[in-house]
Amino acid sequence: MLNSMQEKPNFVFITGGVLSGIGKGVTTASIAKLFQFRGYNIRIIKIDPYLNIDPGTLNPIEHGEVFVTDQTWTFRPVNDSEFNISEIDLDFGTYERFTGMNVHPSQNITSGQIYLSVILEERKGGFLGRTVQIIPHITDRIKQRIWDVVKKDSIPDILLVEIGGTVGDIEAMPFLEAVRQLVRELGRNRTAVVHVTLVPYIKSVGEFKTKPTQHSVRTLQSLGLQPDITICRAEKRLPAAAKEKIALFCNIPKERVISNPDIPVIYQLPLSFEEEGLGNILVEHFGLEPRRPDTDSWSKMVRSFDEASDTITIAMPGKYTTLGDSYKSINQALAHAAAVCSTKVTIKWIETEERSTEECLTSDLSDVDGVLLTPGFGERGVEGMICAATVTLKSKIPLLGICYGAQLSIVAFARNVMGWKGAHTTEVDIDSLYPVVDLMDDQKLTEDKGGTMRLGGHDVHIAEDTKLHRIYGTDKTHERFRHRYHLIDRYLNKMHEKGLKVSAFDSTGKIINAIELTNHPFWIGVQYHPEFKSRPDNPHPLYLGLIRAALEYKKARVKK
């Protein structure tokens, strides 16, 4: 563990209260941006209290999307065991989009990682003669992991640590205790506790209710943590009276009660925090050099989201459409690209378990300007996704298939253009006569499900004279992957004569990374996840390509 007397980093701990899903991730990213506006170096840790090693095996409907990092980290709880981690919490996508920094998988700490490392060490005899306990062994391991992130590469000026879940959750108790110890060890001048709560507005009485925030802060105080700043989520900005009441009962100055109102563009939040004075409050709290925040380029980017002169509708047929966060990075990537094109995107969700015939999908897609066929796993809802791809083949609607969406697009092409009845992916039909999608060779002997896919960043080699090459403007790029199954070249070679072209390979030339149709305005499928690299000030070229194709399709449709 580093000497706690060193000058940096300063620590910002972000906790949440009242209920989950109130925006701790966006708040954390926005606070990080406040420091970046002033030229300070930051790093972010997200602590997730669940017992999974990583979120890779979690259902997106339950937990939201799984974010994939460029790097893969080998987690070694003890010397002779290891787990490859590249799948991390969706909040890291928010961190990357706000800060422009690529995160490392070790920045996502889970209860599973902590408990496993301590228990395996005990089995190896690492605690001989001692009773292994939550305090000090679990809390010490948590602090060690935090300091490991600090020591990685250059030490940042500010380390932000978001604690997942809600204060009062039993799973988060050891992490909050570790935070209490760090605050005690480092001193209040090097630590700031930021508590995010909900302040509901009761329309029937026309009043903001502060009682949930009061109870939440008291729960935090009972754990030995006094918040230095309270971020209050509400429908609109809090009036002075509500702020004064929260300040009084939560034992903080009024100016440290910060409004976090509903806003149409999430990238506006750092600017909203600046208006509330939060950046200067944090700089003063840590005794840092006061610097004028440079918000010009960020403000210009935010304005681009409000300057739309057109609107398009993109259909997203998929398996997890009941929770928008299942496709969080895709949603944002579409918004980034649309803003650059001075347009806005309306997403039309299509649950393909319910809408599973070509007839109903033809009706569903009759009023859309483009289709993004979504990623996923398993057989539920697959026929509806195949039918959606089939409709785009016949109607010339622009299509972008992502990972599983690309694979199922190939199934649609095989069935409808090649006439291969029963063509499928072996993920769904192991006995298919035309297994156009099958397990990768190195996956066929793999039994474990967690962290064993083809994961992380890989080079993509783009074929010349393809739409993909024109979109990227280069022969080689680098993208993030998450898959076990891939497109089988012996079948795709036969599809070539019908207009299907392989447009990208991996470095070995054996794994197909992208396909497209030569006789369709925009029909592209990619094995990777371009959305993970899209940024609000730098949209991914593939999403730009889809938006531009959708605008052209809409123009032609309107003329008809």
Which has more confidence, 169 or 442? Answer: 169
In the annotation, is 516 catalytic? no
Domain stop point among 256, 276, 300: 300
Question: Both 290 and 344 in a single domain?
Answer: no
pLDDT digits (tens, 9 = 90+) for 201-233: 998 888 999 999 999 999 999 999 999 999 999
pLDDT digits (tens, 9 = 90+) for 392-424: 999 999 999 999 999 999 999 999 999 999 999
In the annotation, is 307 catalytic? no
Would you state the structure tokens that stand for residue 63, as one six-digit string? Answer: 């937990």
The per-residue pLDDT for 4 is 41
Per the structure, the count of domains in the chain is: 2
Domain stop point among 300, 325, 340: 300
Question: Both 70 and 87 in a single domain?
Answer: yes
Question: Both 222 and 319 in a single domain?
Answer: no
Question: Both 264 and 362 in a single domain?
Answer: no
Residue 458 CA to residue 528 CA, distance in Å, equals 9
Question: Both 409 and 459 in a single domain?
Answer: yes
Is the preceding omega at residue 136 within 30 degrees of 0, hence cis? yes
Residue 220 CA to residue 13 CA, distance in Å, equals 12
- Residue range 126-154: average pLDDT? 95
| Range(s) of the domain holding residue 41 | 10-300
Least confident stretch, 137-141, 149-153, 397-401: 149-153
pLDDT digits (tens, 9 = 90+) for 81-117: 889 999 999 999 999 999 999 999 999 999 999 999 9
Residue tagged active-site, from 104, 285, 531, 540: 531
Residue tagged active-site, from 250, 403, 427, 540: 403
pLDDT band at 560 (very low <50, low <70, confident <90, very high): low
Residue tagged active-site, from 195, 486, 529, 540: 529
In the annotation, is 207 catalytic? no
Would you state the structure tokens that stand for residue 210, as one six-digit string? Answer: 């502060």
Question: Both 247 and 328 in a single domain?
Answer: no
Q: Which residues does 102 contact at the CB level (< 8 Å), separation at least 6? A: 69, 70, 71, 96
| pLDDT tops 90 at residue 20 | no
Question: Both 470 and 547 in a single domain?
Answer: yes
In this structure, the number of other CB atoms found within 10 A of the CB of residue 178 comes to: 27
Residue 182 CA to residue 188 CA, distance in Å, equals 10
Residue 1 lies in a domain: no
pLDDT band at 2 (very low <50, low <70, confident <90, very high): very low
We report the CATH number of the domain holding residue 245 as 3.40.50.300
The per-residue pLDDT for 296 is 97
